[in-house]
Amino acid sequence: MTNIIKLPGLIDTHVHLREPGNTHKEDFETGTKAAIAGGYTIIIDMPNNPNPITNPEALEEKIKLAEGRVYSDLGFHFGGAESAVPFFQEVKDKVFGLKVYMNHTTGPLLIEDNDELDLIFSNWPKDKVLMVHAEQETLTKAITLAKKHKNKLHVCHVARRIELELIMKAKEEGMSITCEVGMHHLYLTEDDVKRLGHYGMMRPPLASQEDVDFLWSNINSIDTIASDHAPHTKEEKEAETIVNGVPGLETSLPLLLQAVNDERITMNRVIEMTSTNPRKIFNIPEQADTYVEVDMDEEWTISNENLYTKCGWTPFNGMKIKGKIIKTVLRGQTVYENDKITEPASGKATYPTHS
């Protein structure tokens, strides 16, 4: 028996493909292969490369590097920094959003200085998304700044009850605010760190069961699902010094299918969070004849052995899943079927429809 459902190609507005600068972890080819294997037909790359994407030259270099090598469509975000402010008008039509790092994470883009933050929030175009990495108390600061400057704020990877409560309150007040959640923050808790060791380390860190339960019971207040695909090699994860981040492109949709089978979320809500909402929030162009087929009844086990991501591991290794991606179709062409990439790279660079 099969129970095949057709979904629109998924959109992931938060991935780290690590090129240029860290191609031993991932690159445009392996990262976008992982995308189509995971049902994603558009992904948007974050700017926190070792040489961050905070000027037009770095952005153009990244776009050029990706040309002809991507299996899904690929878009780009710009990096928030004082030095980036003079370029905002020049790059705004080429990027989907500005990413501002207000807490420590991978890369050199952290900003804690209030004047610098004020300058960035006030200058970024008001009709374009301003994304923040802002955990707990820092989120209060981000919301205050965005209210002051009337930004279109998008809160990345909500992980704790306190964060979602702040966002729900701001929404009630009529603020322009949206947020995303990663599947690791819906399926893992701080207790899993004992089992996973450094493989369970990411930013924001895994939270309590109470936090996870709160996210699930308020899933309708969260706008999008993002993988926050952030690969590091096994050697790096097993080293003494912690590197934060986990891959997610190939496991997010399977975990969502499991959640639909478990009746924790409806398929309509999955489509809203992975396609309708990200498209609307970020002005992402339509892709003609592009879809994913899933078999809701097929049972299988997530394995480190069957991944396209260069890092070759997942925190969900060994997890049994009901619901499997059968096929990904990009512009009428089957690009992934029965666990295999079936066509050469046919993805394109993608840009916002209007802003």
Structure tokens, 213: 């339960």
Strand ranges inside the chain, DSSP E: 4-8, 10-15, 40-45, 73-76, 78-79, 97-101, 129-133, 152-155, 177-181, 224-225, 291-301, 320-330, 333-337, 340-341
Q: What whole-number distance in Å separates Cα of residue 219 and Cα of residue 138? A: 22
**Residue 45 interacting with Zn ion (CB under 5 A):** no
Candidates 146-154, 162-170, 225-233, 307-315 — which segment interacts with Zn ion by CB under 5 A? 225-233
Our CB check for Zn ion shows the closer of 29 and 228 to be 228
Q: How far is the CB of 281 from Zn ion (least distance, A)?
A: 17
Contact between 228 and Zn ion by CB under 5 A: the answer reads: yes
> 40 or 336: whose CB is closer to Zn ion?
40
Q: Helices in 189-345 by DSSP H: which ranges? A: 192-196, 209-217, 234-238, 252-261, 267-271, 277-282
CB of 229 to Zn ion, least distance (A): 8
Q: How far is the CB of 45 from Zn ion (least distance, A)?
A: 10
Closest residue to Zn ion using C-beta atoms: 228
Among candidate residues 246, 266, 256, the one with its CA nearest the CA of residue 192: 246
Cβ neighbours, 10 Å, residue 135:
23
Strands 224-225, 97-101: pairing is unpaired
Q: Which stretch binds Zn ion (CB under 5 A): 51-59, 94-102, 227-235, 306-314?
A: 227-235
* Shortest spacing between CB 24 and Zn ion, in angstroms: 19
Q: Which is nearer to Zn ion, 74 or 257 (CB)?
A: 74
Give the chain's count of helices (H) and strands (E): 13, 14
Judged by CB under 5 A, the stretch of 75-83, 117-125, 163-171, 228-236 that binds Zn ion is 228-236
Q: Could you tell me the smallest distance in angstroms from the CB atom of residue 46 to Zn ion? A: 6
**Interface residue list for Zn ion (CB under 5 A):** 228
